[in-house]
C-alpha cells in the first residue's frame, strides 16, 4: 500500500486519442471525491465536484505546456522528434514536482511514448534520490489503432488530427513493469472511462511502496 504521507505523481500516457485527458480528469475527480468523503468534508459545487478548498488532487493537462512551435508542427501534420520533446518533458516533470508539494496526488496527462521520455520524467522529478516522499506512477493506456483512429476522427477542435496516429504507434514503446518500476500498460478495450479509472486505482492500491 502507498503510505499516507507519500505524495503521488500519476502520469497518464499513451498515443494521441487513447484517453489520457479523459481518464486523467476522471481520476483526479475520483480521488478528490474519495478524499472529501473520508474527511467528511462535503464541499461540493452544484455539479457535485469537489471545491478548491477540499482538493487533494490536481490535474495537469500536458498538451497545454507544449511550446507554440510544437503545436504548430503537430497542427501541420508533422510528428514531433525527440529534440522537440525533451524541454517539454522536463517542464512537465518540474511542474509536477512543484505541485506535489501542495497536493497529495498530481495527475499529469503526457504521452511519454518512449522509455527515454519516461526516464527523463522520473529523473527530473526525483533528482538523485527516489527516497524523497514522492511516488511516481505511470500508466500507458493502450487500445487498438482502429478504435483510437475512429475516436480521433470524431474529436473536434484539437490540433492533433487522426492522420498523426501512425507515427504515434511507431514511437510507442510499451512498458515492461519488471524493468520500469510502477509503470503499467492498461488495456482499455471498449471499457468505459469509469472502468478504466477503476483499473488504474486498483493497480495503485495493490502496488507496494
Ligand X SMILES: Nc1ncnc2c1ncn2[C@@H]1O[C@H](COP(=O)(O)OP(=O)(O)O)[C@@H](O)[C@H]1O
Interaction site with ligand X (CB under 6 A): 16-22, 109, 151, 155, 188, 191-193, 196
Total of chain residues touching ligand 6PG, rule CB under 6 A: 11
Cα separation of 117 and 184, whole Å?
A: 15
Task: Specify the residue, 18 or 80, whose C-beta has the smaller distance to ligand X.
Answer: 18
Can you list the alpha helix ranges (DSSP code H) found in 76-185?
Answer: 82-99, 115-126, 145-154, 165-171
Cα separation of 188 and 68, whole Å?
A: 31
Task: Specify the residue, 44 or 161, whose C-beta has the smaller distance to ligand 6PG.
Answer: 161
Which of helix, strand or coil describes residue 7? strand
CB of 123 to ligand 6PG, least distance (A): 17
Binding mask 46-65 for ligand 6PG (x = CB under 6 A): -----------------x--
CB of 84 to ligand 6PG, least distance (A): 8
How many other C-beta atoms lie within 10 A of the C-beta of residue 187?
11
Residues 6+ apart with CB under 8 A from 144: none
CB of 26 to ligand 6PG, least distance (A): 15
Amino acid at each position: 500500500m502507498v503510505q499516507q504521507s507519500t505524495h503521488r505523481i500519476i502520469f497518464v500516457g499513451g498515443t494521441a486519442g487513447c484517453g489520457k485527458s479523459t481518464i486523467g480528469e476522471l481520476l483526479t475527480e475520483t480521488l478528490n471525491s474519495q478524499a472529501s468523503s473520508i474527511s467528511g468534508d462535503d464541499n461540493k459545487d452544484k455539479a457535485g465536484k469537489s471545491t478548491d478548498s477540499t482538493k487533494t488532487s490536481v490535474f495537469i493537462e500536458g498538451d497545454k505546456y507544449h511550446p507554440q512551435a510544437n503545436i504548430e508542427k503537430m497542427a501541420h501534420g508533422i510528428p514531433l522528434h525527440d529534440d522537440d520533446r525533451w524541454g517539454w518533458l522536463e517542464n512537465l516533470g518540474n511542474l509536477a514536482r512543484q505541485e506535489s508539494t501542495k497536493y497529495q496526488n498530481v495527475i499529469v496527462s503526457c504521452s511519454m511514448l518512449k522509455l527515454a521520455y519516461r526516464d527523463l520524467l522520473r529523473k527530473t522529478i526525483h533528482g538523485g534520490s527516489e527516497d524523497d516522499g514522492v511516488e511516481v506512477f505511470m500508466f500507458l493506456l493502450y487500445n487498438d489503432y482502429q478504435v483510437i483512429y475512429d475516436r480521433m476522427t470524431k474529436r473536434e477542435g484539437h490540433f492533433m488530427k487522426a492522420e498523426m496516429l501512425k507515427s504515434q504507434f511507431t514511437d510507442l514503446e510499451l512498458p515492461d513493469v519488471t524493468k520500469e518500476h510502477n509503470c503499467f500498460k492498461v488495456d482499455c478495450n471498449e471499457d468505459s472511462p469509469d472502468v478504466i479509472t477503476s483499473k488504474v486505482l486498483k493497480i495503485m492500491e495493490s502496488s507496494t511502496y
